[in-house]
């Protein structure tokens, strides 16, 4: 009798589970269709409305505990990207966090969290996400040597910041600020923060820094020109310090008759 009752309970549970799963599959399919519909649309209210519809349908899937939500994190990541394209960074951040909750090895979504948290001013969340990203790279779970750390605008120009996991000789570049034209396709200027072994070796030999200290240089590149923006010692500078130096130099170069760069050594 107990065995029979157990079979009945199992059948009843299955009857409840199957409709719920079928409903989740339908919601997921609708979300994916709406997501694909939004991709080619021009930026604006109509596109945002379609993205919102896709997000609402997908949220139903993630609210369904009986569904394997790790199987649809690709759609969640796409919605996060669409929201970021529309400058809806809080929504983009929320969906990226949803992705890593169910797919913790999705390094691109961790990078997206770094970007959104930076722009939203949440440095604690930014740094925590960056640490997870570095951990994944150390475990060989990242399939490229760099990631996009931030995107912002200066003087109507788009800036993309790239961080390199493993600096390469001879310049050992750790951060690169790529300044793009209005179309977003033409590189106008590039700034690179790195360490040349010769600079550090000379500074150590001349007792300008300690035996275990380093000197880092921020250099600008445009066309065939190259210039020193700033130098930092004895340790690697804070990201905000480098970012401010880049912004100041972009603003300097935007002047009608820009003065020569006034490179300085930051202590």
DSSP for residue 42: P
Which tens digit of pLDDT belongs to each residue from 237-267?
Answer: 999 999 999 999 999 988 888 887 766 554 3
Looking up tokens 């309970």 gives 9
Are 216 and 192 within 8 A, CB to CB?
no
3-state secondary structure of 237: coil
Radius of gyration, alpha carbons of the chain: 24
Distance CA 119, CA 151 (A): 8
Which tens digit of pLDDT belongs to each residue from 201-225?
Answer: 888 888 888 888 889 999 999 987 9
Query: What parts of the chain have a pLDDT lower than 70?
Result: 1-22, 262-267
Q: Provide the whole-model pTM.
A: 0.86
- Cα–Cα separations (whole angstroms), residue 146 to 129, 167, 174, 180: 15, 10, 9, 18
Q: Token digits for 97? A: 């966090």
Q: Token digits for 140? A: 């060989």
């Amino acid at each position: 009798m107990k065995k029979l009752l157990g079979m009945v309970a199992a059948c009843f549970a299955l009857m409840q589970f199957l409709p719920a799963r079928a409903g989740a599959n339908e919601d997921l399919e609708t979300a994916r269709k709406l997501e694909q519909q939004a991709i080619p649309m021009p930026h604006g209210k109509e596109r945002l409305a379609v993205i919102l519809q896709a997000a609402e349908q997908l949220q139903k899937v993630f609210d369904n505990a009986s569904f394997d939500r790790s199987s649809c994190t690709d759609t969640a990541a796409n919605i996060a990207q669409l929201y970021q394209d529309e400058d809806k960074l809080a929504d983009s951040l929320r969906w990226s966090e949803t992705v890593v909750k169910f797919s913790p090895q999705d390094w691109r979504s961790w990078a997206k969290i770094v970007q959104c948290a930076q722009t939203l001013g949440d440095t604690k969340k930014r740094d925590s996400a960056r640490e997870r990203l570095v951990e994944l790279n150390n475990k060989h779970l990242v399939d490229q040597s760099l990631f996009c750390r931030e995107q912002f605008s200066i003087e109507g120009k788009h800036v993309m910041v790239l961080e390199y996991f493993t600096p390469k000789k001879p310049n050992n570049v750790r951060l690169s600020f790529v300044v793009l034209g209005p179309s977003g396709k033409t590189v106008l200027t590039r700034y690179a923060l790195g360490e040349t072994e010769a600079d550090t070796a000379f500074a150590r030999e001349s007792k300008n820094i300690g035996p275990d200290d380093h000197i880092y240089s921020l250099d600008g590149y445009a066309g065939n020109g190259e210039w020193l923006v700033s130098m930092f010692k004895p340790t690697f500078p804070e990201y905000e310090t480098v970012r401010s130096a880049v912004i100041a130099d972009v603003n300097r170069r935007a002047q009608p008759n820009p003065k020569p760069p006034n490179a300085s050594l930051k202590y």
